[in-house]
Amino acid sequence: MEVSRGVKNKLIVSASPHLHKDESVSKIMWMVVLSLMPAGVAAVFIFGMPTLWVIILGVISAVIAEGIIQIFTKRKLTVFDGSAILTGLLLAYNLPPHVPFWLPIIGSFFAIAIGKQVFGGLGQNIFNPALVGRVFLMASWPNYMTAFTKPLNYDAITSATPLAIIKEGKILESVSYLDLFLGKRGGCIGEVCILALLLGAIFLLLKGYISWHIPIPYIFTVGLFAYIFGHQGLFKGDWIFHILSGGLILGAFFMATDYVTSPLTRKGQIIFGIGCGLITAIIRLWGGYPEGVSYAILMMNAATPIIDRYTKNRIYGTK
Amino acid sequence: MKKFIHEFLRGIIKENPTFVLVLGLCPTLAVSVSVINGIGMGIAASFVLLGSNIIISLIKKIVPGRIRIPCYIVVIATFVTITEMAMKAYSPPLNRALGIYVPLIVVNCIVLGRAEAYASKATVMNSLFDGLGMGVGFTLALILISAIREFLGAGKLLGFTLFKGFEPVFVLGMPSGALLVIGLLLGFFNVLKNRKV
């Protein structure tokens, strides 16, 4: 009792042992931003300088949007807790490399305003804000959102993504697994260089900021479905190609694992990952779009509350 | 007279059918793609609302309580048929643009709602001004929503292109965009209302 004299009564102290961890939401956000850096550097190297401007514009406008809304609604200003920066960064990573300058600005504003602040700010949003922004841009300006640039060719020549080529029923040439792994292909800024993304993902996994319970079932399900139902025939599908192409690695490790919009329990997270994988595979193999990672994650975001309800942990000692 | 003006204004601001009562969202979502459609729908609904409010208020004493809803529907359907025929005769393009949503005014919850909640209990003159106010409120709401959607979603206003080189927000022309616009406007009006109190 002597110790807790200074502590206000409203603080509820649970049973010991008490471990203090030097973590905060802000620190985790910054760590995720840091882990995304290699992919950004790789993208600038692959697609040229305009890519850097898209990333910078996305981040800055996300921060400004958050600031404006928080000042306007007289809430506490938390623009530098890293969450807005992360949203802007992820949104920019979800854009093609050579988009007009206003696209990342509008996308970031929409992501922060409609995706996050409308629900009450950090921790209240139902959907991943960056993906809300991306889907809005995709539905509004599909012509810009699907104009991908040829890799390692700084003249902004457009080329289809490998997934889009497969979707049209053409045969993919001149893209080896190594090209896909290193990012020598058309695609969104952040999704192309798998090597850089995996570096960031391993960092997050080792530090314990994300767990394997969402990404691994997600990737496994997509691979399994691509193997069974792939275009090459039953049980002959090119599953390595499906795992390495599109935004699967970026989505699985960095967007599906968003703390706010994914289930709380381990069991729920595995269900979430498998659901994402199922929807992604269905859209890729039979849907209208060549790529389905963003829609899959958004749909499973919507299912998160119900997953949480049915996977509640049993309280020890009760039935 | 002051009382009638009060009845009239109530439908426009304090009990705006779209933004306060949140009634009649189906036609609002469907036709608010362009301002012309919005005005057409608003006027059609206003006419039906006005007519049905007057007639229902007149017959409120002789309608048996248990079958009042079918009676109201017959009255409303009469006015809807008149509207539809007039629209077909004088403005076929508008009729084609509004399509099924003109006959569907029969089940528009604003019309039935006012009949049940107001006209069946109030005097004829009060009902008249109530119908007029609700109709104008609905029309104004439709114009506001459709102006935003037409301007941002197609870069036009009343069918005229405003800016060259403006890249329209395609999604606002779709039903999901209508939900977005209505939701944001509802929030905006709620903020205004709470600030006043």
The candidate with the shortest Cα–Cα distance to B21, out of B114, B87, B86, is: B114
The candidate with the shortest Cα–Cα distance to A290, out of A183, A173, A164, A181, is: A164
| A139 interaction partners in chain B (CB closer than 8 Å) | 170-171, 174, 176
Chain B nearest CA to A140, separation (Å): 4
B174 interfacial to chain A (CB closer than 8 Å): yes
- Arithmetic mean of pLDDT, A16-21: 76
B172 interfacial to chain A (CB closer than 8 Å): yes
The answer for A 88-107 residues in CB contact with B (under 8 A) is none
The candidate with the shortest Cα–Cα distance to B13, out of B197, B192, B195, is: B192
- Arithmetic mean of pLDDT, A170-182: 77
B109 interfacial to chain A (CB closer than 8 Å): no
Task: Confirm if A281 and A237 have CB atoms less than 8 A apart.
Answer: no
HSE-up (13 A, CA, CB side) for residue B130 = 23
Q: Is B16 exposed, middle or buried (0-12, 13-18, 19+ CB in 10 A)?
A: buried
> For residue A171, what pLDDT is reported?
67
Chain B residue at shortest CA distance from A115: B180
Task: Confirm if A134 and A261 have CB atoms less than 8 A apart.
Answer: no
Q: Is A124 helix (H, G, I), strand (E, B) or coil?
A: coil
Entry pTM: 0.85
Pair of tokens at residue B56: 């229902």
Chain B nearest CA to A118, separation (Å): 9
Cβ-nearest to A141 among B170, B180, B187: B170
> For residue A9, what pLDDT is reported?
54
pLDDT at A2 over 50: no
CB contact under 8 A, A136 and B171: yes
Which of A2-6, B106-110, B164-168 is the most confident on average? B106-110
> For residue B135, what pLDDT is reported?
92
Task: Confirm if A104 and A91 have CB atoms less than 8 A apart.
Answer: yes
- Answer with the residue of higher pLDDT: A274 or B23: A274
The whole-angstrom distance between residue A301's C-alpha and the CA centroid of its chain comes to 12
Tens digits of residue pLDDT in A29-56: 999 999 999 999 999 988 888 899 999 9
B179 interfacial to chain A (CB closer than 8 Å): no
- Arithmetic mean of pLDDT, A9-20: 69
| B174 interaction partners in chain A (CB closer than 8 Å) | 139
Cβ-nearest to A139 among B167, B170, B187: B170
What is d(CA B148, CA B169) in angstroms, rounded to the nearest whole number?
A: 11
In this prediction, residue B47 has a pLDDT band, given cuts at 50, 70 and 90, of very high
Pair of tokens at residue A140: 């509004």
- Answer with the residue of higher pLDDT: B68 or A23: B68
- Answer with the residue of higher pLDDT: A237 or A127: A127
Task: Confirm if A110 and A162 have CB atoms less than 8 A apart.
Answer: no
pLDDT at A3 over 70: no
Chain A nearest CA to B157, separation (Å): 18
What is d(CA A184, CA A162) in angstroms, rounded to the nearest whole number?
A: 11
pLDDT at A10 over 60: no
What is d(CA B181, CA B175) in angstroms, rounded to the nearest whole number?
A: 10
| A141 interaction partners in chain B (CB closer than 8 Å) | 167, 169-170
In this prediction, residue A154 has a pLDDT band, given cuts at 50, 70 and 90, of low
Q: Which residues of B117-139 are buried (b: 16+ CB within 10 A; e: fewer)?
A: ebbbebeeebbbbbbbbbbbbbb
Q: What's A158's DSSP letter? A: B
- Answer with the residue of higher pLDDT: A147 or B57: B57
pLDDT at A315 over 90: no
> For residue A4, what pLDDT is reported?
46
Range in A87-91, B39-43, B103-107 with the lowest mean pLDDT: B103-107
Which of A179-183, B28-32, B53-57 is the most confident on average? B53-57
Q: From the options 1.10.3430, 3.40.50, 1.25.40, 1.10.260, give the CATH code of A25-310.
A: 1.10.3430
**Domain limits, chain A:** 25-310
> For residue B197, what pLDDT is reported?
65
pLDDT at A7 over 60: no
| A114 interaction partners in chain B (CB closer than 8 Å) | 180
pLDDT at A155 over 70: no
pLDDT at A230 over 90: no
For chain A, the average pLDDT equals 87
